[in-house]
Amino acid sequence: MKESILSRFTARTDWMLLRNIICIAAGVLLWMYPDAFATGVVVGIGILLVLYGVISFLLSFRHAIRNMLIHTASINSIVSLVVGLAFIIKPSFFAQWFIVVIAICIIGLAILQLIEITSLRSFNSSVSALYYLSPLVLLGLGILVLVKPEGVVNLIGYFGAAALIYTGISGIFLTIRLKKENKRKSVAPTSGMHYTSQDFSNE
């Protein structure tokens, strides 16, 4: 059963090869334009919000015609449409704000850890001061993101590009290996049948 399921996933090696080549191409493009990662995420969220808003508005409008009432879902759909269109029209602006929100969360977590470590050391003086190192690094990272969010956006883009390129290259090697395994499995039954026919002829 497991072999049949695996064979379904690994039989179409041509599609796997094409998919990995697309991954490498996307990774190279993302490496050339790293700032497109965050804006692409924002645009993707905007498209999803617009689709949700359109579907929700059509359903709520149909409900309102039947019941002669303004359904609350229509308000939510309009808000989703407006926010989604704003994300699509100004993705770079919202991408920077998205990074800023993440930076504020990081700083908040670092301050919370510092307070917890300080309170712990007040009860137990044997707790090492090295515990302050982790929240201080976290605090510095959060402040760095607040001061220069564009650099962090580019850094995230580079990480995403490297991940795509690595996935594509490793996937190509895996595809070649699977092609060899599929050829070996297709040849093995034929040779086995030939060997059996020789045995019968000898008998």
> Which tens digit of pLDDT belongs to each residue from 112-162?
888 877 877 777 777 677 778 878 888 887 888 778 776 666 777 787 788
Structure tokens at 98: 């998205």
Mean predicted confidence (pLDDT) in 18-39: 82
How far is the CA of 156 from the CAs of 72, 99, 149, 182, 193, in angstroms?
A: 38, 10, 11, 38, 56
How would residue 195 be classed by pLDDT, with cut points 50, 70 and 90? very low
66 contacts 53 by C-beta, under 8 angstroms: no
Mean predicted confidence (pLDDT) in 11-25: 78
pLDDT in tens, 29-71: 878 887 777 788 788 888 988 888 888 777 776 665 555 555 5
The answer to whether the predicted template modeling score (pTM) of the entire model surpasses 0.75 is: no
CA 1 from centre of chain: 31
